[in-house]
Amino acid sequence: MTEDVLSVIQPLVPIAAKEGADEVELYALSRSEKTVNFQTSALKSASASRVQGVGIRVLANKSLGFASANSFDKGRILEALQDAISIAKTTPSMDHYFLSTPQKIRSVKDLYSEDTASLSMSETIEFGKDLLKHISEIDSRLSVESGFLSSRVDDYAIATSTGIESTEMKAVLFWEVFGWAVDGSDIGSFDVEVDSVVSVNDMNLETGAKMFAQKVLQNLGAKRTDAFKGTAVFSPEAAHDLFEMLITSAKATAIQSGSSFLQDKLGESIAIPELTVTDNGTAPRNTSSSSFDREGVPRGSFHILDSGVFKEVLHNTFTANKDGLASTGHASGGFRSAPNIGATNIELHKGKMSYDEMLSEVDRGIYIQRVSMDPDFISGDFSAVIKGGQLIENGELKMTLKEMTVTGNLFDALKNITGISKEQKPLRVPTESWLIPYIRIENLDFAS
């Protein structure tokens, strides 16, 4: 199947040159997907779909044009090509606008699984029913407000005038549930549980149901507490939301535009020595891995933070060209837009203490299950609404809290980390996955 996708765009590369493009990049995607949707703890609908499209990026006199076609029809693709060339003739030129050249690509293992690819619509529906059944059997107070379970196959390829020709196929099983617990008039704060795997054999719906139930059930019986300055223990989900600030600020687009608190910090120590953060786009059997990025550049493994030192800026080709560097293989996106920058498989490396040990050392603080972040990427300041927080006193979880706010600065927070757990939780979606521990941070301000 992959050769068919590549064959759609290969013949168009020389045509683009004849039509006035100095350089051209064509990215094609064919996606077959089966989805079952949930609403109010029941199946709502099911659908099967196929999406095909081609994104075309052209350069003419160092000016950029982009257009896309929602079809593999040659006529429509050629129309989009003409549109992209016309756009390029009206946009300003940039010296760093030039495409990547071919590099050796090593295939990432186990991105495709026949057991997922061959799932029928009825089998996908049965998996959706199983997920809802597992949740309902745990506790009658659980309510799934919405969600879905989908199985899909992505078949994609890229061809450029610089000689890049790459193709790959991936299989993805992806599910999400959103809901809360209800006990009479007591409605707990909502929460979400998601997972994304390559193979049916890697999917554990029962474990996912238990994780969802644990989070929302503990949100019942929430009470208020006074404002104070103290310790926070971030769940993996909450730590993800906090450290997303770091990853976003490490993207070259943010740094080059002056909208990152990491500007001019490369090579500096910005966190405790125990903190290491990596991104590995070649991790096998992971739905957010791939052999090459959106521009056909090989994926790799990078230390964003190494023992607290800011080591790597995430680049696509154009941002790397601007800095006179090589792309790190972080071009992201689909066929509907020009490539952007995105991470792949982020890991906050585990620490040496257990979650229980981390909790036991807290005199007074808050366990944060989930946050709604409002970050300032330039200063590093953040304000977040705590969802599903629990008061910690004398090393024990005492009570569930109503919504509170936590404020701080990520620069300070990275230096005030006093605990990184041995336990890590995978937070996996098809576009970006995380493996992340519990994180303990001191000197944060809490207000009710």
Q: Are residues 6 and 76 in the same domain?
A: yes
Q: Are residues 363 and 328 in the same domain?
A: yes
Alpha carbon distance 148, 153 (integer Å)? 17
* Residue 126 placed within a domain: yes
Q: Are residues 168 and 239 in the same domain?
A: no
Q: Are residues 183 and 272 in the same domain?
A: no
Please check the confidence at residue 239 and state whether its pLDDT lies above 70.
yes
* Residue 76 placed within a domain: yes
Q: Are residues 190 and 262 in the same domain?
A: no
For the chain, give the percent of residues with pLDDT over 70. 99
Of 254, 238, 210, 237, the residue nearest 384 (C-alpha): 238
Q: 217, 236, 271: which is the final residue of a domain?
A: 217
Tens digits of residue pLDDT in 49-71: 999 999 999 999 999 999 999 99
Residue 427's pLDDT is 98
Residue 167: domain span: 2-217
CATH at residue 150:
3.30.2290.10
* Residue 222 placed within a domain: no
Q: Are residues 129 and 179 in the same domain?
A: yes
Please check the confidence at residue 290 and state whether its pLDDT lies above 70.
yes
Structural domains of the chain, count: 2
Q: Are residues 167 and 257 in the same domain?
A: no
Residue 2's pLDDT is 55
Q: Are residues 155 and 245 in the same domain?
A: no
Q: Are residues 28 and 160 in the same domain?
A: yes
* Residue 223 placed within a domain: no
* Residue 184 placed within a domain: yes
Alpha carbon distance 128, 151 (integer Å)? 11
Q: Are residues 324 and 188 in the same domain?
A: no
Segment 101-117 shows an average pLDDT of 97
Tens digits of residue pLDDT in 361-387: 999 999 999 999 989 999 999 999 999
What is the torsional sign of CA 293, 297, 300, 306? negative
Q: 217, 249, 275: which is the final residue of a domain?
A: 217
Q: 192, 217, 242: which is the final residue of a domain?
A: 217
DSSP letter for each residue of 58-80: EEETTEEEEEEESS--HHHHHHH
Do 13 and 24 touch, CB atoms closer than 8 A?
A: yes
* Residue 97 placed within a domain: yes
User: What pTM was computed for the model?
Assistant: 0.95
Give the pLDDT band of residue 3 (cuts 50, 70, 90): low
* Residue 300 placed within a domain: yes
Structure tokens at 439: 């994180």
User: Could you tell me how many helices (H) and strands (E) the chain has, helices first?
Assistant: 11, 22
Segment 100-120 shows an average pLDDT of 97
Q: Are residues 159 and 240 in the same domain?
A: no
Please check the confidence at residue 240 and state whether its pLDDT lies above 60.
yes
DSSP letter for each residue of 345-369: EEEE---SB-HHHHHHT-SEEEEES
* Residue 394 placed within a domain: yes
Please check the confidence at residue 428 and state whether its pLDDT lies above 80.
yes
Q: Are residues 51 and 143 in the same domain?
A: yes
Please check the confidence at residue 296 and state whether its pLDDT lies above 90.
yes
Residue 448's pLDDT is 87
